[in-house]
Homo-oligomer: A and B are copies of this chain.
Amino acid sequence: MQFQLTTDFLNTIERLIDNKDGKALHELLQDYHFADIAEIIEELNSDEATFLIQSLESDLTGEALMELDDDVREKILSRLSPKEIAEELEELDTDDAADIIAELDDHIQKEVIDEIKDEEHAADIQELLAYDEDTAGALMAKELVQVKETWTVAGCVREMRRQAENVTRVHSIYVTDKEGKLTGRLSLKDLLTAGEKTKISDVFIPKVDYVTVHTDNDEVARIMQKYDLDAIPVVDETGVLVGRITIDDIVDYIKEEADKDYQMAAGISQDVEADDSIWQLTRARLPWLVLGLFGGLGSVYIMQGFEDALSTFPILFFFTPLIAAMAGNVGVQSSAIIVQGLANDNVKGSLFNRLLKEVGLALINGTALGLLVILFGFLVGQDQLVSITIAVSMLSVIIVAALVGTFVPIILDKRGIDPAIATGPFITTSNDIFGIFLFFYIAKLILGF
């Protein structure tokens, strides 16, 4: 039953576009889901995509535009007139329409809004554009079903019929007082079971989770996940109900944040995908590699400082990649678990206890790995003092790497900086340099070269 985009089907569509046969396109595609139309558009070039969008009804293509990759959408919008863009936006919920407008240049934004025929819709979009990005105000939609405490069930059903026209999906029915302040919610169950003449004030649930327009997106996501909410109402500073956020927007947000943290940990800045251009991928990847290169050159410089050991203990130099790898791996492990803990809000307890735990963990892991190094040395007939030196230095490096990996993200987070930047190449590189210095320094103390 699932839609599968075949090459044949795509060829048919491209042929119709080549022939400028908008009518046939319309007939072929009008009954498809907007998400499938979006999938088709992603496979077309920008001119073809623009023709396709112009050929289909806006109620279908508006939603499809919303599903596209930012860069694909940008190219298509640049080919549409402000009037055409406005037509697409008329069909979208206010939150999606505002998201799309926000991507346009300032002067085009104004033209597009002027072209929107439904004045209430236009005003709602402008209100949403005024809120700070990353807050509930910018994430919410104005469409919702709202009833007054003083109404009867029958009046409520009548009013809901009217409001539901503009609301794609009724997630919840919110109850407000005379001033429009949020006072509770109404369950569908209660609405169905209550008598027609019952007052809403007698059946509604006076307890409702909500956020304000200034609540941070992270907090909205946390609350909706914690309380398993499908939708959450948004109020302004005075408690007046002004919008609602639905779970599908939060799903997208959670996914994007997780993808961003994952890429950051892998040393990829900016939001890129496997299918982006070489140039975009280079811009996202090269800076981190340059950072790693400087780290590596730092290590070269440090080792030159310990050059004396080359003649007496060349084996130490063979162990540097191992030391760097250990410092890097331990640092990444520690930072990843802390960054994830901070994101999921489950890093609790005092810093001192955390310090004790990380040192304990590093001691256990470091001792186990140190014993393996000594065993290896024994098997290949290496000087025992050298083996012990390497094991002890490595243990110190592991402890320091674990501490750096744990505390750098915590400190960044306390200062309001995204701790995710302290994962991946950043931690690996600093731990590489630091680890190699520490390794040779301790080796020098023990072996005395």
Contact B170 A189 (CB under 8 A): yes
Contact A321 B318 (CB under 8 A): no
Residues of chain A having any CB pair with chain B under 8 Å: 1-2, 33, 35, 67, 157, 160-161, 164-165, 169-171, 188-189, 192-193, 209-210, 223, 225-228, 230, 247-248, 250-252, 254-255, 258-259, 261-263, 265-268, 272-275, 278, 281-282, 285-286, 288-290, 292-293, 295-297, 299-300, 303-304, 307, 310, 314-315, 317-326, 328-330, 332-333, 335-338, 340-341, 344, 346-349, 357, 360-361, 364-365, 368-369, 372-373, 376, 423-425, 428-429, 432, 436
Min Cβ gap A333→B in Å is 5
List of B residues within 8 angstroms of A314 by Cβ: 307, 310, 317
- Nearest 10 A/B pairs, CB to CB: A296-B322, A266-B336, A274-B341, A258-B258, A303-B318, A321-B324, A228-B248, A299-B321, A300-B318, A317-B317
Instruction: List the B residue with the shortest CB-CB distance to A274.
Output: B341
Min Cβ gap A42→B in Å is 9
Q: Given A248-B228, A251-B247, A364-B278, decide whether A189 and B210 contact each other with a Cβ distance below 8 A.
A: no
Q: Given A248-B247, A328-B328, A333-B267, decide whether A290 and B428 contact each other with a Cβ distance below 8 A.
A: no
Min Cβ gap A360→B in Å is 5
Interface centre among A223, A320, A346 (most CB of B within 10 A): A320
> In the complex, which of the residues B1, B289, B322 contacts A297, with contact meaning CB atoms closer than 8 Å?
B322
Contact B192 A268 (CB under 8 A): no
Chain A binding surface SS class: helix
Contact B261 A325 (CB under 8 A): no
Min Cβ gap A302→B in Å is 9
- Measured in the bound complex, the distance between the Cα atoms of B285 and A335 in whole Å is 12
- Measured in the bound complex, the distance between the Cα atoms of B190 and A165 in whole Å is 10
Q: Given A170-B188, A340-B274, A346-B274, decide whether A373 and B318 contact each other with a Cβ distance below 8 A.
A: no
Contact B268 A333 (CB under 8 A): yes
Can you report 16 A-B residue pairs in the complex whose CB atoms are below 8 A from each other?
A67-B226, A164-B193, A170-B188, A258-B258, A262-B262, A262-B265, A265-B265, A268-B337, A275-B341, A278-B364, A281-B337, A288-B333, A293-B326, A303-B318, A310-B314, A324-B324
Q: Given A230-B248, A296-B321, decide whether A262 and B258 contact each other with a Cβ distance below 8 A.
A: yes
- Measured in the bound complex, the distance between the Cα atoms of B317 and A307 in whole Å is 11
- Measured in the bound complex, the distance between the Cα atoms of B225 and A407 in whole Å is 36
Contact A278 B357 (CB under 8 A): yes
Contact A266 B169 (CB under 8 A): no
Contact B289 A369 (CB under 8 A): yes
Contact A325 B251 (CB under 8 A): no
List of B residues within 8 angstroms of A340 by Cβ: 259, 262-263, 273-274
List of B residues within 8 angstroms of A319 by Cβ: 296, 300
- Measured in the bound complex, the distance between the Cα atoms of B255 and A304 in whole Å is 47
Instruction: List the B residue with the shortest CB-CB distance to A192.
Output: B161
Min Cβ gap A216→B in Å is 12
Instruction: List the B residue with the shortest CB-CB distance to A2.
Output: B223
Contact A329 B262 (CB under 8 A): no
- Measured in the bound complex, the distance between the Cα atoms of B227 and A248 in whole Å is 10
List of B residues within 8 angstroms of A329 by Cβ: 267, 288-289, 292, 425, 428
List of B residues within 8 angstroms of A230 by Cβ: 169, 171, 230, 247-248
List of B residues within 8 angstroms of A164 by Cβ: 188-189, 192-193
